[in-house]
Structure 1
Amino acid sequence: MNNEKLNAVKALKTSKGQIEGIIKMIEEGRYCIDVSNQIIAAQSLLKKANMLILKQHLNHCVKDAFMHDNGDKKVDEIIDLLGRLMGK
Structure 2
Amino acid sequence: MPSYNRTFDLNIADVDLIEEALRARGRELSRMRLALSEENPAHMESIRVIEQDQRTGEELLGRLHDQKIFYRPRKAVYVGG
Matched residue, 1:84 = none
| Structure possessing the higher radius of gyration over alpha carbons | 2
Give the superposed CA RMSD.
2.6
Matched residue, 1:49 = 61
Q: 2:16 and 2:75 mapped to 1: Cα distance?
A: 25
Answer whether contact 2:38 2:44 (CA < 8 A) is retained: no
Q: Which moved more, 1:29-38 or 1:10-19?
A: 29-38
Q: Which runs of 5+ in 2 are unaligned?
A: 1-11, 77-81
- 1:32 aligned to 44, 51, 56, which one? 44
Q: 1:5 and 1:28 mapped to 2: Cα distance?
A: 38
Pairing 1:19–2:30 present: yes
Number of residue equivalences: 64
Pairing 1:7–2:37 present: no
**Structure richer in helix, relative to its length:** 1
- What is the identity percentage for the equivalent residue pairs of Structure 1 and Structure 2? 6
Pairing 1:68–2:70 present: no
Q: Which runs of 5+ in 1 are unaligned?
A: 71-88
Shift of 1:3: 2.1
Q: Secondary structure of 1:26's match?
A: coil
> CA, structure 1 residues 54+4, in 2 after alignment: closer, same or farther (shift >3 Å)?
farther
Higher relative contact order at CA 8 Å, sep ≥6: structure 1 or structure 2? 1
TM-score (norm 2): 0.60
TM-score (norm 1): 0.56
